Amino acid sequence: MLGDIEAAEDAIQDAYLVALERWPREGHPKHASAWILTTARHRAIDKLRRERRGREKAERLAALEFGAPPRDPFAEDREMNVIPDDRLGLMFACCHPGLGVEARIALTLRTLGGLSTEEIAEAFLVPSATIAQRLVRVKRKIRDAAIPLDVPAPERLPERLADVCSVLYLIFNEGYLASAGDSLVRRDLCDEAIRLTRVLAHLMPQEPEVMGLLALMLYHHSRRDARSDSDGRLIPLAEQDRKLWDDTAIAEASAFMERAARHQFEGPYQLQAAIAAEHARARELGRVDWERIAELYARLAAIAPSPIVDLNRAVALGFAYGPLLGLAALDAIDARALETYHPAYVARADFLRRLGREAEARDAYAAALALTQNARERAFLEAKMLEAGASVTPRDDERDSR
C-alpha cells in the first residue's frame, strides 16, 4: 500500500515539474488539478512500464486514482521516501537568486508546498490575482531565462543553499507573525515551512545550517500555544506559561542542534537557534542566561552584522548587566539604521522605565506606537504605556529580566 502512495507522490511531483515547464509556455489548463492528476497518472504508468515489474503492478495503477492529496497527516513520513533529486532541484529553482523574493516565496509554496494560489494569497493578505500574476511571471522567467531545475554546482552550493534557507525562514516568519485571530492558512505557514525544511535537511544531511534553521523554527514553534492569550494578545517570552511549551518540538530541536554541532561550522541559523535554545533552557535553569545570550548575539553580529542583531544584543546586555548598560549599547547603534524599526523604541522605553525615567519612557512608547499598524502589538504597547504612566516602580519591572 505504501508503495502505491509513494508512486503516486512521485508521479504528482513529476507532473508538477512538467507543469512548471509547460504551463507558462502553453497557458494554464482549465482544470489545473485534473490536469495534474492526469499527467501524474500518465507519468506513473510510463514509470511502471519502464520498470516492467509485471502484472501486479497494474493494480497499483488503480490505486493512483485514489492517490493521496498533497497534504495529509501522513505526508511527512512519506515525504522522506519520495525520489529526492527532483524536489531538491525544484527547491533550488524556486529560490533562485534571479527571481524576486516575493516570487520565490509564492513559487515555493505553490510548487513544493502544494498550496493553492488562493491559499497563498490569503496567507500573504494580497489579492489572489496578484499571486496568480506573480506565479505566471516567475514561471515565465524560469522558462525564458533557462533557470535550471537542478542542484547548483558545488562551488555555488553554500550561497544558493543560504537562499533556499532564507525563503523557508521568510515563510516561517510570515506564519509566526500571524496570531490567533488571523486565518488558519496564515498560521499553517509555520507548519509548511518546518515540513519543507525537514525535507531539505533530509535531502542534504551534511548541511549544519539547514539543521540549525530547522532547530530555530522548532524552538519558536514550541511556544506557539503560549505566545498569545485567549483574546489573541501577544504574551512576552518572560510572561509565558512555560508549561504550554511543546516539549517534543524542543527535544527535536536540541537533537538537530547536536547533530549540527558535529560539523563544527558555526553559521547564523545555528547561532539564532542557540539563542532560542537558551530561552527553552531557562525552564530548567529557573532563569534566563542573558550573559550567554548577549555573547551569542555578539558572535552573530561578527558573522552576520545587522543593526537588528545589535539591538537584540543591547536588550540582552540590559537584562544581564542592567538597563544603564543596555541603554549605552542601544545608543552605540547608528540611530538612522533603526529609525523606523519600532522594537528599537520599545527596547529604549523598557530601559528608561527600569531606570525610573517614566516621562521619557512614555515618549519612546509613543514613537513605537506611531510605527506599528498591527492591532495586537498596538494593544500591547498601549497597555505598557499606561503602566509607565501609572508610576509602576522599576523594581516590579525587573522581574521580567530574571
Partner 1 sequence: MKYMLLIYTPHDSRPTTPQERAATMPAWEAYGAELRRRKAYIDAAPLAETTSATTVRAHDGKRTVTDGPFAETKEWLGGYYIIDCASLDAAIEAAAMCPAAKYGSIEVRPLVEM
Among 80, 129, 145, 332, binds partner 1 (CB under 8 A): 145
Other C-beta atoms closer than 10 Å to the C-beta of 314 total 24
Among 69, 100, 148, 389, binds partner 1 (CB under 8 A): 148
Residue 152 binds partner 1, judged by CB under 8 A = yes
Site string for partner 1, 77-96 (x = CB under 8 A): -------------------x
Query: Footprint of partner 1 on residues 96-125 (CB under 8 A)?
Result: 96, 98
The residue behind cell 506565479 is: 135
Task: Give bridge partners of residue 228 from the DSSP assignment.
Answer: 234
Number of amino acids touching partner 1 (CB under 8 A): 11
CB of 98 to partner 1, least distance (A): 6
The residues, any chain, with a CB within 8 Å of residue 205's CB and separated by 6 or more, are: none
Spatial CA neighbour of 293 closest among 284, 280, 303 = 280
Among 12, 82, 147, 329, binds partner 1 (CB under 8 A): 147
Residue 359 binds partner 1, judged by CB under 8 A = no
* Biggest distance spanned by C-alpha atoms of the chain: 82
Query: Residues 167, 161, 251, 315: is their CA dihedral positive or negative?
Result: negative
Cα–Cα distance, 103 to 82 (Å, whole number)? 26
| Nearest residue (CB) to partner 1, 118 versus 144 | 144
With contacts defined by CB under 8 A, name the span among 16-24, 35-43, 126-134, 138-146 that binds partner 1: 138-146
Q: 3-state DSSP call for residue 228?
A: strand
Query: Residues 301, 307, 309, 315: is their CA dihedral positive or negative?
Result: positive
Site string for partner 1, 273-292 (x = CB under 8 A): --------------------
Among 144, 229, 241, 339, binds partner 1 (CB under 8 A): 144
Q: List, as one string, the DSSP characters of 97-113.
A: TTS-HHHHHHHHHHHTS
CB of 140 to partner 1, least distance (A): 11
Q: List, as one string, the DSSP characters of 69-101.
A: PSS-TTHHHHHTTS-HHHHHHHHHHHT-TTS-H
Site string for partner 1, 155-174 (x = CB under 8 A): -x------------------
Among 1, 62, 146, 285, binds partner 1 (CB under 8 A): 146
Chain-centre distance for alpha carbon 4: 32
CB of 155 to partner 1, least distance (A): 9
Q: Give me the residues that bind partner 1 (CB under 8 A), please.
A: 96, 98, 144-148, 150, 152-153, 156
